[in-house]
Structure 1
Amino acid sequence: MKKYLSSILTAALFFTVFLPGGMALADGEISTKTKKQTLNIAHRGASGYAPENTLAAFEKAVDMKAEMIELDVQMSKDGELVVIHDTTVDRTTDGTGAVKDLTYEEIAELDAGSFFSEEFVGEKIPTLGEVLDQFRGRTGILIEIKSPYLYPEIEQKVADELISRNMDKPNNNKIIVQSFDHQSMKTFQSILPSVPVGVLLSYSPDGISDAQLADFARYAEYVNPNKDMMDADLLERIHEFGMKSHPWTVRDQESADFLLELEVDGIITDYPDYVDPHK
């Protein structure tokens, strides 16, 4: 009888410990659910801790273990792709004027760190090429094309920067391109179909319809809405259309926790330390 009971216990232990996928018997049922990995995406770098869209902010994001950095791209008067969010330099530098009206030489002289704190005096506005060269292979890069209507052929110029560095190969580089201008994303996708694109969406009380999602799915791999639009139903519908979602922009722990609980595909945040997938 003891030998018989021992055999039963051994079998039970085997099925509890060794079943694939970490499955275990509990109350007569097998559970296979594991927590989904959510990408930690540093918005304009770790912009809660360093001046946005600068090399310092991107370095801080890497130090904080963000899986991707997000940045904004615009174009100088003489055609250089520069990393800055606003269409003017007024808010984040010691200069004034529209980005499109300044040459790269003029932009390169500006101080893009002092507005944040004295610690970053002299920080510069980088070019897209500088960021790609410094961070390729170290972190994923989410490129937002900003106000493309101001910059004819900017989609081709972004594509050229990626192609020249052999960063346009599918599954070889963690590169995504996104924009609020959805026609721009259609254009970029037609130029460089090997690089996934995302559509950004501002908050709308009307939400996102299935008709919109069906249209996005024709050319985009990501639907990235304002975080206040995200709920379980929207995430499920985005996934049903074969796309993923990276809501923006998280600036408080409560929002990060909510999105982590939803198991969104990625979270765009100023504070990478708020997004801890191991919680």
Structure 2
Amino acid sequence: MKKKLLIGMSFALTLIFSPFHQAFASDSSQVDTIAHRGASGYAPENTIAAFDKAVQMKADYIEIDVQRSKDGKLVVIHDTTVDRTTEGTGYVKDLTFDQLRSLDAGSWKGEQFVGEKIPTFDEILDRYRGKIGILIELKSPELYPGIEESVAKELKERYLHLPQDEKIIIQSFNFESMKKMDALLPYVPIGVLTSSSTDTTEQALKEFSAYADYFNPSYGIVTKDLVNQVHSQGMKISSWTVRSQEAADFLLSMDVDGIITDYPDYVNQRN
């Protein structure tokens, strides 16, 4: 049994009767619907519009990507450059927060989204905590030395580093970063992301399970055997990124624990 599960057991009775737990209590057999960058099939990714849409569509989680501005502000954007989703150019890490905030992050998706801004990490925490789960991806943390401590600080200031019925989860493709997050936030579930079959061996999964609670692969490498192996190591499995009903149906048939999707309704209608 993993360290954070052992630690968390001491809080179990308190959590059962807490308002936060009651608000999110659900059938444990239900597949979690995780809105990828918000309901990004319907609204511009990683914007308030997309996250609000995910809440409206009754997703279980929003998935967000966290990076850092040149002057140290944690911001929510997927690409390491602003070129694709704004009218600006340049690397996120080379732009100040004011520069990032001045950009239009919505009009590329449609004129009804003109004026959507790049949100900050603290804005997302304050707007959505207690309303929906938040799956936090550290995007390219190797570009941002110390970002793990910055994320941990924001969570601790809001008491979100304590057991929350897994309604705060942190994940990344950078495994060393996730080992660091596990040490900084022992009560917060950790996920590892991969699209490589080399990370699906029995030995690899065993190593991940020493610090991770979730093994989150691309759906192209998901098999029933992999799901069983992940579960046998005491981890859950959430797969990405679903952009078709066929992909959602496939993952549901694999008995995964969560589906990360641009279209929450592809999963919700099945639950």
Tell me which of 243, 248, 255 is aligned to 1:263: 255
Residue in 1 that maps onto 2:4: none
Q: What are the ranges of 5 or more consecutive residues in structure 2 without an aligned counterpart? A: 1-26
Residue in 1 that maps onto 2:22: none
Q: What are the ranges of 5 or more consecutive residues in structure 1 without an aligned counterpart? A: 1-33
Residue in 1 that maps onto 2:141: 148
2:155 & 2:194 partners in 1: Cα distance? 25
1:117 and 2:110 correspond: yes
2:128 & 2:28 partners in 1: Cα distance? 28
Instruction: Report Cα offsets for 1:146-178 as digits up to 9, x if no partner.
Output: 011110100000001100011111135610000
The runs of at least 4 aligned residues of structure 1 exceeding 4 Å deviation read none
Q: Is the 8 A contact 1:144 1:178 kept in 2?
A: yes
How many residue pairs align between the two structures?
A: 245
Tell me which of 48, 57, 75 is aligned to 1:55: 48
Please, what TM-score do these two structures have when normalized by structure 1? 0.85
Tell me which of 240, 243, 246 is aligned to 1:251: 243
Larger Rg: 1
Displacement of 1:276: 2.6
Q: Is the 8 A contact 1:37 1:277 kept in 2?
A: no
1:211 & 1:277 partners in 2: Cα distance? 36
Amino acid at match of 1:70: E
Q: Is the 8 A contact 1:93 1:111 kept in 2?
A: yes
Displacement of 1:140: 0.1
Tell me which of 204, 213, 224 is aligned to 1:212: 204
Please, what TM-score do these two structures have when normalized by structure 2? 0.88
Residue in 1 that maps onto 2:180: 187
1:107 and 2:100 correspond: yes
| Percent identical | 60
Residue in 2 that maps onto 1:235: 227
Amino acid at match of 1:66: A
Q: Is the 8 A contact 2:59 2:268 kept in 1?
A: no
1:278 & 1:46 partners in 2: Cα distance? 17
Tell me which of 161, 168, 180 is aligned to 1:168: 161
Amino acid at match of 1:263: D
Highest RCO, 1 vs 2 (Cα 8 Å, sep ≥ 6): 2
Residue in 2 that maps onto 1:4: none
Residue in 1 that maps onto 2:62: 69
